[in-house]
Amino acid sequence: MKQAIHVRGLTKRYGDVQAVAGLDLDIEQGEVFAILGPNGAGKSTTVEILEGYRSRDSGEVSVLGADPARPTREWRSRIGIVLQTANDAAELTVRETVRHFARYYPSPRDADEVIAQVGLTESAGKRVRQLSGGQRRRVDVALGLVGRPELLFLDEPTTGFDPEARRQFWDLIENLAHDGTTIVLTTHYLEEAETLADRVAVVARGQVVALGDPATLGGRATAKARVAWSEGTVETDTPTATVAELGRRYGGEVPGLSVTRPTLEDVYLRLIEHPS
């Protein structure tokens, strides 16, 4: 597989604040990659450097084979960006807005096709300002997609969504990933990262402190299981044996039985407190 993004030793300082402190990152083409981390970790700064909207102090950066510090129009047209701030052309209709943005790209997608893809067909003739927050976010995504990007950056795409809108949005991202678009998203929602991402990077204090498949990050898959029932709790490497033993002890159903491994949130909170 070819690399979409390659970063080595990236640094960025604002006055006294070392926002990015020697960050390394490799993202493959076609991957859905999530960047997690607490506020102030350096996520936005890093992503803005990758997008070509912020300068770096030092380090090696390649995005779709080019240095984003010297962005060309051709390079920009291969990248889609969905920012946190909603679009401001609110007096236009959804269709007008998408058509307008399509003109900036050499081979845009058909506006109505993109509108359908983000689930806004029925609202295509409405003014953007008449839409709900979640629908506006879909317009933002449509604008990120209309240029047919190879690489799509999504900055906290579902902040403010209700659970149903979030699930629909996840379906949309999965469809895009299926079509081969490389997707880099920052999110505060661990469930979102776990659902969507092939790999996640946890960023803290300007560095990647953990990287991997969300299912196994930080030793999740091999961590001790916790067997709990109404009268006790055991942490064990052999939960099956423990459950079998409990079954014998109770002569049948064990009251209140559950077997759990650390959640991504457990691992995440440990990582950002004690980065290794």
Q: Shortest distance, CB of residue 41 to ligand ADP, whole angstroms?
A: 4
CB 54 within 8 A of CB 63: no
Nearest to ligand ADP of 83, 146 (CB atom): 83
Nearest to ligand ADP of 117, 186 (CB atom): 186
Q: Which residues bind ligand ADP (CB under 6 A)?
A: 14, 17, 19, 37, 39-45
Q: Shortest distance, CB of residue 55 to ligand ADP, whole angstroms?
A: 11
Nearest to ligand ADP of 48, 140 (CB atom): 48
Q: Shortest distance, CB of residue 13 to ligand ADP, whole angstroms?
A: 9
Q: Shortest distance, CB of residue 22 to ligand ADP, whole angstroms?
A: 14
Q: Shortest distance, CB of residue 68 to ligand ADP, whole angstroms?
A: 16
Nearest to ligand ADP of 36, 254 (CB atom): 36
Of the candidates 141, 192, 198, the one whose C-alpha atom is nearest the C-alpha of residue 170 is: 192
Nearest to ligand ADP of 43, 137 (CB atom): 43
